[in-house]
Amino acid sequence: MIPTPHVLILAALLFGLGLVGVVLRRNVLIVLMSVELMLNAVNLTLVGFARGRGEMAGQGFTFLIIALAAAEAAVGLAIVVAIFRSRRTVNVDEVNLMKH
């Protein structure tokens, strides 16, 4: 038996690491990967709760979130490719056309 708090702590650590990646990294590809990491941590929380309560609802949510992550990755990476074509950069600090 896996205690639910252990799953939650692992998920919180993974979520925190993903958040650190989003805040600290400037390469937009790694920022997107960190977002995937955070989504993954949330999925782990949902599956942990589903197991703890013996219900299937959390697993249904997780299934939907995985499909959502696929859509998010497709659109996000398409935007990255479009930005790279026009600006020749993947650094999020250099994509500041709206600023000036």
Partner 1 sequence: MLLPAVSAGDVVQMNQDCAMPPTALAAAGPPPPGGWYRSRSSAGLRSLFARVARRRRCDAARRSLLTSGAVLVPWLAPALASAAGSSAAAGPTGTPVGGALITFYVFGALALAGAILTITRKNPVSAALFLVLTLVSTGGIYLALHASFLAAIQVLVYAGAIMVLFIFVVMSVGKPDDRESVSLLAAWPTKLLGLLAIGALVFRIAMVVGQPNFAAAGPVAAQYGSVEQMGRLLFSDYLFPFEAISILLLVAIVGAVMVTRRPAVEASEGEAQR
71 sits near partner 1 (criterion: CB under 8 A)? yes
Over the window 79 to 98, marking each residue x when it contacts partner 1 by CB under 8 A and - when it does not, the resulting string is xxxx-xx----xx-x-----
Q: Nearer Cβ to partner 1, position 1 or 98?
A: 1
* 3 state DSSP class of 94: helix
- Least distance in angstroms from the C-beta of 92 to partner 1: 10
Residue of 2, 95, 97, 100 that binds partner 1 (CB under 8 A): 2
Under rule CB under 8 A, which residues in 40-59 are in contact with partner 1?
40, 43-44, 47-48, 50-54, 56-57, 59
Q: How many CB atoms lie within 10 A of CB 82?
A: 10
Residue tagged 């696929």 (tokens): 70
CA distances in angstroms from 58 to 14, 31, 55, 99, 100, listed in the order given: 19, 27, 7, 41, 45
